[in-house]
Amino acid sequence: MIRKIICFNSLIVLALAVGFFIYPPVRAWLDIRDPALRQPGMPRVAWRLYHSLTPRYAAWARERVAAGRAAEVDRDDISGTEWPLFGSAFYLWSLENLQAAWDAGDHSGGAEPRVYAREAIQATAELVVDPRHATWVKKHWGENYLHRENVFYRMLVIAALTSREKLLHDGFRQDLLRDQVETFAAELDASPTGLLDDYPAQCYPGDVMAALMCIRRADAVLGTDHSQFIQRALRGFTGPQATPEGLPPYAANAKTGRPESAARGCGNSYMGLTAPELWPAQAQSWFEQYDKLFWQHRISAVGYREYPVALAAPDWTMDVDAGPVIAGHGVSASAFGLGAARKNGRFDRAYPLAAELLITVGELPNGVLAGPRLLSNVSDAPLLGEAAVLWQLSVPPEKNFPIKTGDRLPAYVYVVTAIWLLPGLILIWWALRSVRRIRRAPEVTVWFPRFQLGLWSGLLLAAVIAYFLGHLLLGIALLIFGVMFPATSRNTASAQGDRYLET
């Protein structure tokens, strides 16, 4: 029996090695070979991630709204307040991209997105407009929060309702959508600087630009026309309201319009996704300048810096918007830079960024992206990272933008592949060696056998229960502890008297 249990444990180790260390890089390399990463087209990986994420996003959104946890999150907990709504916008924008590809004739994803994801679209839009998810902005702006600045939240409301109407045509909260589009456009147009605050005394031009994009998209479903207003709105990001490099700043003073920070990677990659739909010529000029000042090749990787080289800023840091900054590379800047590059037709930049992303995220056999899941807010926005990845991979180039293809891979892709494979191969070797030795051993002695067998059974049962309750990481941890038992004593492994300790 002990021999069988040890063999069973070795099979578990083999499965963990294949699932966590062999499958992710193999899956990534199969995706990297897709021509749609090097040129216009919907990548196959985007269709697969959408099928994996959609049922999980629908279930999470429904459960979160029903539980009402959003009303209890501290006002200053940025990831707990903003990320559930921001991730929902990412997911809905992804579905718009996928639906457009399906309408254009790409049916490789199977069922039509608006049909397959109907429940998720409904649940996601309802989460964004749920009053309890506005608790934190009410604390900032009071009961008039829907008609007084509050750029970030109102932008997300417009985005979610527009996406739902564009995809489902069900008229959900069209009164609210029309009210927000008209009142926000009027308030922004009346602003002396063309800017408004996200929070009191906090203005982020990237969010203002995203709000303008959402208003333009809403025109298509409401039958309104704000094109002249949007042309005037360019004033908020140019001239004296731009940085010395000619780029929009990360933060500004909404009253004076003056930059309060330098241009940053996370902000300009984000604006690279929105500006092409507003001011195509200006967007191309901005992206060219951004690429010139922020693109770098360092520590075997390529990507966008969080801060330009000329600015004396730390190359190793982290904040809630930038994410980790590693040797100058901004994780958010490079992740959103992937989508910005695709949007601007720069597949020579998008392809290496996509390859780096795919080899890093660690897609597991069940479709979960391990890296983005770990970098998300586990309690309040566990799917933010996966929704962001899906959005970036699904972004199509803006119409009439020149296309520059690319097929060069940085050394980083090969280095990370080796990092993935090495521990997996070691575990496979160890598991096969354990089976061989236990079969050759003439006898096996176990300390406190009943106790160890009970502990082994309990840990494996707990792992199964944790998995089915949705606690994947806990289930894996319990499984790993479980395969450590039963521990055996020293014994004779062969006629030659080799002695070893089996665990």
Q: What is the pLDDT of residues 24-63, one digit of tens each?
A: 999 999 999 999 999 999 999 999 999 999 999 999 999 9
Instruction: Provide the pLDDT confidence category of residue 282 given band limits of 50, 70 and 90.
Output: very high
Provide the 10 A C-beta neighbour count for residue 40.
Answer: 14
pLDDT beyond 70 at 444: no
pLDDT beyond 90 at 86: yes
| 356 Cβ neighbours under 8 A, 6+ residues apart | 301, 302, 303, 334, 410, 412, 413, 416
In this prediction, residue 395 carries a pLDDT of 98
> Full-prediction pTM beyond 0.75?
yes
Q: What is the pLDDT of residues 377-410, one digit of tens each?
A: 988 999 999 999 999 999 999 999 999 998 899 9
Q: Exposed, middle or buried: residue 55 (CB in 10 Å: 0-12, 13-18, 19+)?
A: middle
Pairwise pLDDT comparison (170 vs 433), residue with the higher score:
170
In this prediction, residue 442 carries a pLDDT of 66
Percent of the chain scored above 70 by pLDDT?
Answer: 96
| 330 Cβ neighbours under 8 A, 6+ residues apart | 264, 265, 266, 269, 303, 304, 305, 306, 322, 323
In this prediction, residue 3 carries a pLDDT of 78
Distance of CA 459 to the CA centre of its chain: 32
Q: Say how far apart CA 281 and CA 276 lie, in whole Å.
A: 8
In this prediction, residue 236 carries a pLDDT of 97
CA 498 vs CA 218, 492, 501: distances in Å: 75, 6, 10
Percent of the chain scored above 90 by pLDDT?
Answer: 81
Looking at every residue in the chain, the average pLDDT score rounds to 93
DSSP 233-251: GGGGGSGGGS-TTSS--SS
